[in-house]
Amino acid sequence: MKTKGADLIWFDGECLKWEEAKIPVTTHALHYGTAVFEGIRGYSTQNNLYIFRLREHMERLHRSASVYSLPMKYSIDELCDATLDLLRKSNVKESCYIRPLTFVGLHGIDLNITKNSPTHVTIIVFPFAKYFKSEGINTCISSWRRIHDTSTPPMSKAAGNYLNSILATQESKYNGYDESILLDREGNVSEAAGENIFLIRNNVVYTPHIGTSALEGITRDTAITIAKKLGYEVMERPIPRTELYFADELFLTGTAAEITAIVSVDRHSICSGREGPITKQIRETYSKIVTGQIEEYSRWLTPVW
């Protein structure tokens, strides 16, 4: 993080001052990327601060850890409670980003991570509003391919996976784009550097299935649920690169990005360079859900206060 967030960080069961939450430089995760994490949003309203799909995120954290046999010292319920405790003790009432992280500590230099390896869990929170600075972003197809399940499992939200995304992001920024889109090993669309992707043609909503190395995103699942509720057919299938250029609308989903329209791909204009009507419907519905304005989805919200 570039700047200090809340005054406290939850670290292995304790709320420590930001400056006191330290790890040694010999930490295994620092050398080998042996860590899994989550990104969670807290949304401020006039009456409360709501954490969006907190339990689902902690469930995925546990699943990610299990892929690499990282011992999880805390249950899903304990992690949810710890998040609430941290926000309350830090007196956080503005919209924020929450980062739970599980990592291997002083293990040595060998690579044999087991259930007996020493792990730590931390939860960090900091103020957060918009990720992308505009309502519509310009994208490019990355020359880097998305990692594949046969090498580094994309379904586990592991820290090391994001080196792939960093390369793609650097390339897109260098070439003047807002974000990159990665193809899978077969050349089909996988996802953006940090987000899932959706394509709309003839009022049907499409998204790559997880077999294309796409993360099983929680915001992705939310967008699918919203689109179906709005009456649109949603299909998960392979999407070839060229179909992106033919799209009526494109949008990204992610905890940080929320619902963000793509207005161009490789300088091919999408929806005349603006957010499309279906994307707008989904985005506006999403915004209402996360701020507690639609009672039907209140099960997805955890109030802090």
| H or E stretch at 192 | strand 189-192
Residue 157 designated active-site: yes
Q: In 10 A of CB 150, how many CB atoms?
A: 8
Contact 179, 169 (CB under 8 A): yes
d(CA 120, CA 9): 13
Distance from C-alpha of 192 to C-alpha of 259, rounded to nearest angstrom: 13
Q: Whole-angstrom distance between the N-terminal and C-terminal Cα of the chain?
A: 26
Catalytic member of 157, 173, 229, 280: 157
Pairing of strands 249-254, 49-52: unpaired
Give the whole-angstrom CA distance, residue 233 versus residue 257.
Answer: 23
Partners of 121 in the β-ladder: 102
Residue that is written with structure tokens 């980003």 in the block: 97
Residue with tokens 């603006």: 274
Residue 172 near residue 180 (C-beta atoms within 8 A): yes
Measured distance CA(192)–CA(132) in Å, rounded: 13
DSSP states of 118-144 as a string? -EEEEEEEEE---SSSSSEEEEEEEEE
User: What is the three-class DSSP state of 302?
Assistant: strand
Length, in residues, of the chain: 305
Provide the pairing of β-strand 196-201 with 204-207. Answer: antiparallel
- Alpha helices (H) in the chain, listed in sequence order: 28-32, 54-67, 76-89, 162-174, 218-229, 241-245, 277-290
Residue 284 burial (CB count, 10 A) = 12
Residues with a known catalytic role: 157
